[in-house]
């Protein structure tokens, strides 16, 4: 290729830089700047004060919300992975190609229904006077309080993330070379050994990605902890919304947001490291 300047590569390279620079990096930088601003009479004024950081990070309620959110998102990641795995395993190894294709199709369907509407449906289903308690009542159980609790929020998180986790796990399991598994069998490995020493390591990337997405989505979600968890206790997303509502305290909301992003980046990089890092 000649040395003279060529426009062609830049036509492909630049749009993303311009667009995401203008509309993704820009807003985030503004948000960081905003966290140092002052609010007077419900109006923000550019400034450089540490007051917002001091105020938010010095409060118990911020840290309570932080640990609750972190704990719940971790739990959601682990639970979703565990619940999804048998299903993904079955889809990858125990059903026909056609069934698998249909199953994946049906797992994509939920992405096209409004998450809000599904959460609202859970509100009805999980109510103390709702259908699930009615069914349990026939068996002489309950009624259980499921709404406005950590359990309710977790049901919401699963609604949000399970289909995605199953899809990711299924793809990575189905991609495992069958010969590898057969070889393990032939060498006399037990099913348990095959699972832990062959299948899980081989599907590592998909499994970790699935758990990570579940973590990220649950960490940032505000709908489930609010409408199914009853804000009891509030998570960081709810805290952000509360803070913007109360007296125009956007700078403080920005502090919470930055703390959330920092946490997510750490988690994401750790996950990528674990997934793609040293292989055996």
Partner 1 sequence: MTRSTFTLSRRRLLAGAAGAALTTPMINRAWAADPVQINMLAWYGHAEPDIVAEFEAANNVKFVPKYYAGGDNMLGLIAQSPPGTYDLILSDAEFVQQLNMAGYIEEMDPSLYPFDDFWPEYQKFPGHWTDDQLWSVMVRFGLLGVSYNSDVMTREEAMSYNAFWNPKITGKLGHFDWHLPSLGQISLLNGNRDPSPFDISEDAWEAVMEKTLSLKPQVGGYFDYGGTFASLKNGEMLAMAGIGDWITGVLQKDGAPVASVIPEEGGIQWTESYSIGKGTTKHEIINKFINYMLSPEGQVKSIKMAAYPGLSPLKSGWKAIQEADPAEAKRSGLIEGDDQSPIKLLSEGRLFFRDIPRQQDLEDWNDFWSEYKTA
Partner 2 sequence: MRPSDIAFRLYLVALFTFVFLPILTSMVFSLNSDRFPTVPLGEVTTHWYETAFSRPEVWTAFGNSLIVAVCAAALSTTLGFVTAYTDFRYGFRFKPAYLALALLPPTIPLVIMGLAMLAWLGRLGISGTLPGIIVAHTVMGAPFAMAICRLRLSQMDPALEAAAWNLGASQWRAMRAVVIPFCLPALISAYCLTAAVSFDEFIVAWFVSGLNKTVPVMILEILQGNVDPQINAIGTVVFLTSMALVIIAQLLILRKTNA
List residues near partner 1 by CB under 8 A.
41-44, 59-61, 64-65, 68, 123-124, 127-130, 145, 147-148, 226-227, 229-234, 239, 242-249
Q: Closest separation between CB of residue 235 and partner 1, Å?
A: 10
Q: Does residue 151 bind partner 2 (CB under 8 A)?
A: no
C-beta pairs of 60-68 under 8 Å, 24+ apart in sequence: 61/239, 62/239, 62/256, 64/233, 65/233, 65/234, 65/235, 65/236, 65/238, 65/239, 66/236, 66/259, 68/233, 68/234, 68/235
Q: Does residue 158 bind partner 2 (CB under 8 A)?
A: yes
Single out the residue of 83, 104, 181, 202 in contact with partner 2 (rule: CB under 8 A). 83
Q: Closest separation between CB of residue 171 and partner 2, Å?
A: 11
Angle at which helix 250-276 crosses helix 60-89, to 10 degrees, equals 40
For residue 246, the partner it binds in partner 1, partner 2, none, with Cβ less than 5 to 8 A by kind, is: partner 1
First to last CA, the chain: 40
The answer to whether the beta carbons of residues 95 and 174 sit under 8 Å apart is no
For residue 48, the partner it binds in partner 1, partner 2, none, with Cβ less than 5 to 8 A by kind, is: none
Q: Closest separation between CB of residue 142 and partner 2, Å?
A: 14
| Residue 116 CB neighbour total at 10 angstroms | 10
How far apart CA 256 and CA 258 sit, in angstroms, is: 6
Of the candidates 128, 122, 99, the one whose C-alpha atom is nearest the C-alpha of residue 110 is 122
For residue 94, the partner it binds in partner 1, partner 2, none, with Cβ less than 5 to 8 A by kind, is: partner 2
19 vs 71 by CB, closer to partner 2:
19
Q: Does residue 163 bind partner 2 (CB under 8 A)?
A: yes
Q: Closest separation between CB of residue 51 and partner 2, Å?
A: 18
């Amino acid at each position: 290729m000649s040395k003279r300047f060529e426009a062609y590569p830049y036509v492909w390279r630049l749009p993303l830089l311009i667009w995401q620079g203008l509309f993704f990096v820009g807003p985030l930088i503004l948000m960081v700047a905003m966290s140092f601003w002052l609010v007077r009479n419900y109006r923000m004024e550019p400034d450089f004060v540490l007051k917002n950081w001091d105020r938010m990070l010095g409060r118990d309620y911020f840290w309570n919300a932080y640990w609750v959110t972190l704990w719940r998102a971790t739990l959601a990641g682990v639970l979703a992975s565990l619940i999804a795995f048998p299903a993904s395993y079955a889809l990858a190894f125990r059903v026909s190609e056609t069934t698998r294709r249909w199953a994946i199709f049906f797992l994509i369907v939920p992405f096209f229904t409004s998450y809000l509407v599904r959460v609202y449906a859970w509100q009805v289903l999980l109510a103390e006077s709702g259908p699930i308690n009615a069914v349990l009542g026939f068996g002489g159980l309950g009624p259980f309080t499921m709404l406005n609790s950590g359990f309710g929020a977790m049901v919401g998180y699963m609604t949000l993330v399970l289909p995605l986790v199953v899809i990711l796990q299924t793809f990575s399991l189905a991609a495992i070379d069958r010969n590898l598994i057969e070889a393990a069998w032939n060498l006399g490995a037990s099913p348990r050994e095959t699972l832990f020493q062959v299948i899980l390591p081989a599907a590592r990337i998909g499994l970790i990605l699935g758990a990570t997405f579940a973590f990220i989505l649950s960490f940032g979600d505000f709908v489930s902890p609010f409408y199914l968890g009853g804000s009891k206790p509030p998570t960081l997303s709810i805290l952000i919304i509360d803070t913007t509502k109360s007296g125009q305290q956007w700078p403080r909301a920005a502090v919470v947001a930055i703390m959330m992003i920092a946490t997510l980046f750490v988690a994401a990089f750790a996950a990528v490291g674990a997934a793609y890092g040293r292989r055996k």
